[in-house]
Amino acid sequence: MSNTQSLLTIEELYASVEEKQIIKGLNLDVKPGEVHAIMGPNGAGKSTLGYVLSGRDGYSVESGSAVLDGQDLLEMETEDRARAGLFLAFQYPVEIPGVSNLEFLKASVDAQREARGEEAITSAEFLKEAKAACKQVNLPVSFLKRGVNEGFSGGEKKRNELMQMLLLKPKLCILDETDSGLDIDALQVVAEGVNSQRSADRSFIVVTHYQRLLDYIKPDFVHVLSDGKIVKSGDASLALELEAQGYAWLQKEPAEDELEG
Amino acid sequence: MTEQIDKALAREYEAGFVSDVESETFEPGLNEDVIRRISVMKGEPEWMLEWRLSAFREWLEMEEPEWALVDYPKVDFQAISYYSAPKSMKDKPKSLDEVDPELLRTYEKLGIPLIEQQMLAGIAVDAVFDSVSVVTTFREKLEEAGVIFCPISEAVHKYPDLVKKYLGSVVPKKDNYYAALNCAVFTDGSFVYIPKGTRCPMELSTYFRINEQNTGQFERTLIVADEGSHVSYLEGCTAPQRDENQLHAAVVELVAMDNAEIKYSTVQNWYPGDENGKGGIYNFVTKRGICHTSAKISWTQVETGSSVTWKYPSCVLKGDNSVGEFYSVALTRGRQQADTGTKMIHLGKNTKSTIITKGISAGRSNNSYRGLVRMNPGAQGARNFTQCDSLLIGDQCGAHTFPYVESRNPSAIIEHEATTSKVSDEQMYLCRQRGLDPEKAVSMIVNGFCKEVFKELPMEFAVEAGKLLEISLEGSVG
Ligand SMILES: Nc1ncnc2c1ncn2[C@@H]1O[C@H](COP(=O)(O)OP(=O)(O)O)[C@@H](O)[C@H]1O
Ligand SMILES: [Mg+2]
């Protein structure tokens, strides 16, 4: 591998929820600017990985390490991980009735700015940015006034997640099946959102079931996550292979796995 | 998670300081003699004393109500002092310059400067300290518009006809146990009269402060809005932090004549007691308004303080086409108990009422909504809409709703909706994942839950109320 410093390094991570081990010896290295796709069967632990990295209550790390930008993620509070630049676009975004998107987003942006020792953004400036973000993800500006995800359709919720990403400008974006349930137009919006944010100092982990998103977002690496660990890694062509053959060939006995790998 | 929220809720009570003023305070005890002495202190005419005494005699025959879902040791009415006033108020200061600076400082510390130049433009304040009104601002400006805004003790002298006519006209002397007690021993509060066709040029507000130990505060407020007039009024309240419970038993009466409108808002922040339920104010309050033809009364309350709250601001919709509204946020935490709600009594045709309540319970508190909607036989075409939402924080608190409906007119329409929700782990996680600390997350979620009620408050106070919730929730998450 190149000698650039990694943005995220996960080593031999074991994690469990409700006493059930889900992540079982996972390794992953993400360098600045890279896009990694993670694919894998339902129940493999893809969402769990995002929750463990972001520090969701109830998800406990048994052993291993995860380092973001030189900081030990696993020692940090949930909000401090976010402030350190970790963003998770949720597979199932939750509603917060009565709290407007705008208020929520400004508070989030301000909390992150404060952590960096910056002043709060002015309302006028923020509104301008928020409107531009709306436009980019193809949501009417009126969504800024609505309660967070309140009564949004599935697709609108996903686009709202993306809008948050645009405004928070994280270093590491984890998108958990942001493409699921989207029609082709919405899919393109998501892809464009990601592509527009790609830069030398921002990395992505894109969890997806479908090759089609990867037609638009060209990943640098594709990993297969199965039963709590990465069982195969490759370049973008691996996604095509998976599309054709499914995951079954990767889930057989260990001996065969080794043969294939 | 629950633990974190509990921690966030363990906040400081910012108004808990004691002011160092020398007061003249009655010995504890209640009897006819004490009532006569109160009347003397206030220099009252004979009719007022007689009114008090007759209420007292009624009260002696009454029993303390026990139907509310609140649990507290019986109040020893002989252990309370019924009158306390700063000595400096004895000579009735003529202007602000003559008022004891310590008193002015007290209000300034509470964020209510009484120097007119420093005040929020457009808000007149009556400041009641224990049993007396310290000062009422902007009186001249109001007088120009014909509006009367003064301490009720002064109105008894200056406007005896109005007081005689309306005092006790909405809440009768023997309406209930605490109301009867209030009639006997009330000390101060505000009197407002808005003349016909007048839109009150300023927001009016009264700020109640309990300072002296072992005293009860018996607030009495009377607002009369004459035909076609309009007024917006706000009351606020705080008290020092003490281990002993103190009693605040108030009566507020509103009279809205034909086509008049009264908007009455309360931000109640009495000392709530500590985490274990030690100390705090017993807030036993009777508030009621009467609406004549096409009149409207709107009650908005934000209740965050008191250890026990017993309070049902109500509307008697007497005139045809009259409108009653009740918007309430009640937050309980620690060991606080609140039993609050409203009564909408529909008498006239096409009368309309709306009830929106938001109860937030945290810690080991108990929060009940109790509401009555009554459609009398004459209430042809009357309508009510009620929505009661409860939000639970943690799993050791209680939320209850007791909606009572009595419909004696088949054409009346009554709708009721109720929800109970929790501040969910998912919501907290979303907020924290975006970089918000847990305190901010809880207060934002709670503020969002209360939004429908906050938007009913006058602008300046909506911000205050939001902040108050924030302070109340401080430390509820770790
Ligand atoms: N709160 C939980 N309690 C128990 N099991 C859970 C919980 N959350 C997830 N799991 C289990 O963990 C496994 C991985 O789930 P998840 O990470 O959502 O998979 P994926 O996102 O790859 O479909 C599944 O078997 C799921 O049932
Ligand atoms: Mg998943």
Closest to A83 (Cβ–Cβ): which among B435, B450, B451?
B435
Q: How many cross-chain Cβ pairs, A to B, lie less than 8 Å apart?
A: 77
Q: What is the mean pLDDT of residues A205-221?
A: 90
* pLDDT 10s digits, B352-400: 999 999 999 888 888 999 999 999 999 999 999 999 999 988 888 889 9
Residue A102 domain boundaries: 8-250
Q: Determine, for residues A79 and B451 on separate chains, whether the beta-carbon distance falls below 8 Å.
A: no
Closest to B440 (Cβ–Cβ): which among A82, A107, A168?
A107
Task: Quote the ipTM score.
Answer: 0.93
Q: Determine, for residues B451 and A98 on separate chains, whether the beta-carbon distance falls below 8 Å.
A: yes
Residues of chain A with Cβ-Cβ distance to B448 below 8 Å are 96-99, 147
Q: Determine, for residues B433 and A82 on separate chains, whether the beta-carbon distance falls below 8 Å.
A: yes
Does the Cβ of A160 fall within 6 Å of ligand 1?
no
Mean pLDDT of chain B: 87
Percentage of residues of chain B with pLDDT beyond 90: 49
CA distance A112 to chain B (A): 6
* pLDDT 10s digits, B139-190: 888 999 999 999 999 999 999 999 999 999 999 999 999 999 999 999 988 9
Q: Which residue has the tokens 């973008």?
A: A236
For position A40, which CATH number holds? 3.40.50.300
Number of domains in chain A: 1
| pTM of the model as a whole | 0.83
Pocket test for ligand 1, best of A14, A19, A21, A47 (most atoms within 8 A of CB): A47
Q: Determine, for residues B436 and A111 on separate chains, whether the beta-carbon distance falls below 8 Å.
A: yes
Q: What is the mean pLDDT of residues A59-78?
A: 95
Q: What is the pLDDT of residue B9?
A: 54
For residue A176, report the distance from its CA to the centre of ligand 2, in Å: 7
CA distance A80 to chain B (A): 7
Q: Flag whether residue B408 sits within 8 Å of chain A, measured between CB atoms.
A: no
Q: What is the pLDDT of residue B136?
A: 79
Q: What is the pLDDT of residue A257?
A: 47
Residue with the larger pLDDT of the pair B48 and B89: B48
Residue with the larger pLDDT of the pair B439 and B45: B45
Is A255 domain-assigned? no
Residue B106: helix, strand or coil by DSSP? Answer: helix
Is A258 domain-assigned? no
* pLDDT 10s digits, A140-165: 999 999 999 999 998 899 999 999 99
For residue A201, report the distance from its CA to the centre of ligand 2, in Å: 26
Q: Which residue of A has its CA nearest to B439?
A: A79
Q: What is the mean pLDDT of residues B226-239?
A: 90
pLDDT at B470 > cutoff 70: no
Q: Flag whether residue B427 sits within 8 Å of chain A, measured between CB atoms.
A: yes
What share of residues in chain B are helix, strand, coil (percent, to 5)? 25, 35, 40
Is A234 domain-assigned? yes
CA distance A229 to chain B (A): 24
Is A260 domain-assigned? no
Is A173 domain-assigned? yes
Is A141 domain-assigned? yes
Does the Cβ of A116 fall within 6 Å of ligand 1?
no
Is A257 domain-assigned? no
Closest to B437 (Cβ–Cβ): which among A55, A79, A164?
A79
